Amino acid sequence: MSHDNASLPQPLTLLAEDERIFRDSVREFAEAQVRPLVREMDEHAKIPKTLVTQLFDLGVMGIEIPDAYGGSGGTFFHSVLAVEELSRVDPSIGVLVDVQNTLVINAFARWGNDDIKKRYLPRLASDTVGAYALSEAGSGSDAFALTTRARQDGDDFVISGRKLWITNGNEADVFIVFSTINPDAGYRGITAFVVDRGMPGFTVGKKEDKLGIRASSTCELIMEDCRVPKANVLGEIGKGYKTAIETLNEGRIGIGAQMIGLSRGALDATIKYTKERKQFGKPIAEFQAVQHQIARAAVDVEAATLTVYNAARLRDAGKPFLTEAAICKILSSEVAERVASLAVNLFGGNGFVKEYPVEKFYRDAKIGQIYEGTSNLQLQTIAKQIMG
């Protein structure tokens, strides 16, 4: 029996032709346009505006937005592929695209009325970055312990409060802000608002100085009697909790894509390095101990990839994916940390310096177990689902 690749069963990660073409185009862009900027972006903790413009031109900033609104008319799975391929080179760029597509655009597409869609989707498809503002100082894992308040005043709502750790804060011009209208109603008092940069009373505060994904901006948002038109309520008043929960479930798949992309980038760099690095008269790739460690990492990455792809396929098929999203988020983030750590080990001393790429992958990996729901929260979700 032949054991060449042609005789092996088709892998579960087999892509449709349009998906393969799309993936390859994003990979080519990432290699040509993103890779030369990675170290500079990390050191300066900033994404150049020209690169953001190029991402819009490529069509990856409005993947699921219908053609009628100027978007790419793609699927959620296309978004996953884009985030994965960009994260192979720089997870900071991966999360910029991820938040835009899996959180912001998904929220507009699902919860926005016709007026909001007409006003915002063309902008998000062409030149406007979005951000998703839920977290607060006392509202992280306990997502609905919000202190940001909104009160109605005529045809407007007036919002006051602060949001923390908001991805895309510096780049965004449109923000989905969650606020409580009726604190006595608990989570049923939460409402989502669309806030434009420049609205009176709204400012972007300090940018966090982070361990990893440094080029991606993480900012504080400050609202001091910020006046927002009633027409900018996203979804129904008092139903913001549904918007948050359902959108975050999709966002977790996006973070899974970021983490498997990071893992692949770290593993690719490690395989290349072990073939070049010589010790005891031969490349270290020829040592069985090294081969086995790389093989184990490859197994982990493939397993994590399957869980991410499975969750994305279920979402596109309109089937339940809550448990699968939690599984892919926790597994992919744990794999990313393990693979990045192995990469640093196999690079040896070179793995600890910034001249080589793996120390950055190691720093970038840590956030995967924290944002979009910590690993403990994912375990709690999985336990509830499988144990009833």
Q: Could you tell me if 244 and 126 are in contact, meaning their C-beta atoms sit under 8 angstroms apart?
A: no
Q: Rg for the chain (alpha carbons), in Å? A: 21
Q: Please tell me the distance from the alpha carbon of residue 248 to that of residue 374, in angstroms, as a whole number.
A: 12
Give the DSSP letter string of 72-139.
----HHHHHHHHHHHHHH-HHHHHHHHIIIIIIIHHHHHH--HHHHHHHHHHHHHT-EEEEE--BTTB
Beta bridge partners of 191: 179
Q: Please tell me the distance from the alpha carbon of residue 20 to that of residue 7, in angstroms, as a whole number.
A: 21
Best CA proximity match to 308, nearest among 343, 262, 270: 262
Give the DSSP letter string of 144-207.
T----EEEEETTEEEEEEEEEEEETTTTEEEEEEEEES-GGGGGGGEEEEEEETTSTTEEEEEE
Contacts of 201 (CB under 8 A, 6+ apart): 158, 159, 160, 223, 224, 225, 226, 227
Output the CA angle 129-130-134, nearest 5 degrees: 155
Residue 230: both structure tokens together: 């009633």
Contacts of 195 (CB under 8 A, 6+ apart): 133, 159, 174, 175, 176, 177, 202, 223, 226, 228, 232
First to last CA, the chain: 46
The values of phi and psi at residue 152, to 5°, are -80, 135
> Tokens 């100027």 belong to which residue?
70
3-state helix, strand, coil in the chain (%, to 5): 60, 15, 25
Q: 372 an active-site residue?
A: yes
Active site residues: 372
